[in-house]
A and B are shown apart, each in its own frame.
Chain A
Amino acid sequence: MSKIVKLSQENWSDLLTGMAKDYHIYAPIQYSNQQDYELLNEYNIKDIVYNHPKPATPLKTFLLPIKQNLVKDNRFKPSVILGIPACDLSAVNILSEIYLDKDFKDSAYEHRLENYIFIGSDCYSMQEHCHCTSYGFKPYPTENADIVLSRLDSTVFLQSLTPKGDKLIGLIESKVALVKALEEEINQINDKRERITHQLIEKNKDIPDYTKTGELIKQAKEEIWKRYADTCVSCGACATICPTCTCFLLIDRPGFEKVRQLDACQLPAFAHVAAGEDPLHELHVRFKNRYMCKYVWKPEKFDSVACTGCGRCIEACIGKINKNELFVELNRED
C-alpha cells in the first residue's frame, strides 16, 4: 500500500484551477437533479461533487466514445478523469478483456486507456438503485484507479495505486505541499467506507448474488420475461447507459475508414440476417438476451463480472422496468 497524503480543500481547488489551464480534467459537476462529468475550467471547479455515487454518464464513454473513427489517427492529449466511482472503475475489467484481447487488440481503446489518468473516489452515500455490493464490489475504488481520492470535512486525501498515479502525485507535490495522513484520519476514512458498505448490503439483502442470478435467469420461464418486457419499448437506453455493455456497429466512410458506433442488442434488427432470420425478433427474447449475456454467457467466457450493480439501467428505463425486482421475484420463487 502506498502512503496516503493530504492537502486542504482550498489548496486542492487552487491546484485544479492551475492544472485545468494545461490539462484536460473531467470531474462530476452538480446540476439541478443530477451530476455528470464536465471539462473543468476556472469557473466550475467550485461545483465539483466529491465522494458522491455515480455521475450520469458511465466511464466507458471516455474509453469507447459513442462514435469513433478507428482508422483515422485520433491521438489525443493525456487527460485526467476525477471522481470516478468504484463501480465504473471495476467495469473496465470486462471492457479490457474484450478490447485488449490478445488476438485482436483494439489500439484505439488501448491508446485511450493508456492516456487517461483515473482518479477514483469513495462513495459516502448511495442512490436508490445502487447495489454494487450484491455482486462483490466495494463502494470505494480497489482497482483500475491511478489515484483514490477521499475527503474528511475540508481535507482531501490522495492515495496512488499505480506508477501513473505516483507521477501525478509527484507533479502535485512540486506545486503544493503534501502531508502524510494521520493514522486516525485513515481510520476515519475506513469507518466511513465500512458504514456505507454495510448500508448497501442491508438495503440490498434480498437481491441474489451474481452467480445465483445467473442460475435463476437460466431457469426462468417465458411467462416472467413476457411480463417484465411488457413495458419495454426497445429504446436501448439500458444498454447505452450501462458501463459494461459495449456492443457496437462498424460504419463505413470513404477511404476504407471504419467508424465504431455504440449499438445495443435491445434495438430491433440487431441480429437480423439478410435471409430473414432474426433470433432476437421477439421483444421478450430480446429483453431476456441482455440478462443472459450479463449473468450467464459472459461469466462462461470471461473472468470479469459483467454487471457492477450501478443501477443505471433501472434509472434510465422509460418502461420503468427494474431488473432487481425481477431477480428478487425469481429468487423468491426458487
Chain B
Amino acid sequence: MTASRNIYQCIKAEITEVIDESPTIKSFVLRPEREFEFKTGQFVELTLDGFGEAPFTPSSSPLEKEEIQITVMRAGYVTEKIHQLKPGVIMGIRGPYGRGYPLDKFFDKEVLVLGGGCGFAPLRSLLYNLKAEEDKIKKLVFCYGSKTPAECIYKPYINELRQVKKFEVYRSVDRPDETWTEEVGVVTNLLDKIAINVDDSVAVVCGPPVMMKFGTLKLLEMGYPEDNIYLSMEKNMSCGLGKCGHCMMGKYFVCKDGPVFSYDEVKDQPDIWQ
C-alpha cells in the first residue's frame, strides 16, 4: 500500500471508565493513544478487536481532546458485547466522520433541542458545546423524553444543565413511577408548554425514528421553516467513508453527507423515518 494514510486503520483507545446510565445504556470513557478531535454531531466507528464495529456519536464535549465518551445502548451483536467490557480494554476508533451540527447557524438564535431515549447521547455533546458558547446564543430549551424514569440517562448531568443561565430543561416520561415529579406523556407534548420565538429559532431533533417523525411534524406545525429543523439520521452503516453503500438514503451517503441534515435536505428522499 502507498505511504498515504490508510483510511481503514483504527487508532487505539483504552477504556478508562464504564458508567451505567440505565438498564440498557452504558457510557464508556475512552482515552485515545493520541489527541482526538471531532465536531459535535460527527460520529466515530468503534471497533471491538476482531469482533465487529458500529457507529456512535461521542457524547462528550468536543472541547475535550484527551478523552472521549461514547454512550452505547445494548441493541444487537456488537453493542451486546461492548456492554460486557471493563476498564483496561483497548478498542479501535476510526473517524471522526460526517457533517455535524452547523453551530454558526445556531448563533444569535433561540435553540430548541428535542431528544428522546439514546438520542440524548449526541445531544449531550451539542449541549456541552453550546454551554461553552453560551454568550453566542439567545437561549436554549431542551425537551427530553424517555419511556420510564429508569430509562432517563445522564441524571447528574441534567442538574448541571439546569444551572446554566440561558438553558431551560424539560423532561417527560411515558410511564411515570411514584418518584417522578416532571411531565408525563410523549415528548412532543412538552412543545406545547415551552415559550420560544419560532421566527427567531432553530430546532434540533435526535431520537428513535418515531419520535423524530412526530417531533418534526410538530415543529413544522409550530411554524419552523424546513431548513431550520436539524435531524440526526440513523441508517445502517459499515465504512463511514461514503463507499460501502449501506447508509444510502436516496442520493445521500448518510455517513458522509450527514448524519446531520436539515429537514429541507432530506424530506424528498425515500424512507427517511425508517
Contact = CB atoms under 8 A, between A and B. Distances in A.
Contacts of A256: 9-10, 12, 47, 49, 92
B218 interface: no
A99 B243 contact: yes
Interface string A249-278: 110111110101001010000111111011
A252 B251 contact: no
Interface stretch (A23-31, A170-178, A293-301): A293-301
17 contacts: A70-B8, A98-B243, A107-B2, A111-B2, A246-B245, A254-B49, A256-B9, A256-B12, A256-B47, A271-B235, A271-B236, A271-B246, A272-B236, A274-B79, A275-B234, A292-B250, A293-B248
Given A104-B243, A301-B251, A250 B236 contact: no
Nearest to A297: B251
A212 interface: no
* Across the A-B interface, the 10 shortest Cβ-Cβ residue pairs: A247-B245, A274-B75, A279-B271, A254-B50, A274-B76, A279-B274, A300-B251, A104-B241, A297-B251, A70-B8
Interface string B30-63: 0000000000000000011111110000000000
A279 B1 contact: no
A202 interface: no
Nearest to B48: A252
A103 B8 CA distance: 13
Interface string A225-250: 00000000000000000000011111
Given A248-B239, A252-B50, A275 B10 contact: no
B4 interface: yes
A47 interface: no
A273 B49 CA distance: 21
B244 A248 contact: yes
Contacts of B10: 256
Given A70-B6, A301-B251, A277 B244 contact: no
Contacts of A263: 238, 244-246
Interface residues of B, number: 42
B209 interface: yes
Nearest to A247: B245
Interface string A53-70: 000000000000000001
Interface of A: 70-71, 73-75, 98-99, 101, 103-108, 110-111, 246-250, 252-256, 258, 260, 263, 265, 270-275, 277-279, 292-293, 296-297, 300-301
Given A256-B47, A258-B8, 7 more contacts: A106-B241, A110-B2, A249-B238, A250-B239, A252-B51, A253-B50, A271-B236
A108 B251 CA distance: 25
Interface in B67-119: 75-76, 79, 92
A99 to B, nearest CB: 7
A275 B250 contact: no
Dominant secondary structure of chain B at its interface with chain A: loop
B156 interface: no
A103 B242 contact: yes
B208 interface: yes
B171 interface: no
Contacts of A297: 248, 250-251
Contacts of A110: 2
B63 to A, nearest CB: 24
A274 B274 CA distance: 12
B195 interface: no
A255 to B, nearest CB: 7
A110 B7 CA distance: 12
A2 B204 CA distance: 58
A249 B48 CA distance: 16
A255 B251 contact: no
B26 to A, nearest CB: 15
A314 B242 CA distance: 28
Contacts of B208: 275
A292 B270 CA distance: 11
A275 B50 CA distance: 24
A270 B52 contact: no
B75 A105 contact: no
B1 A247 contact: no
Interface in B4-37: 4-10, 12
A111 B250 CA distance: 30
A71 B8 contact: yes
B256 interface: yes
Nearest to B256: A103
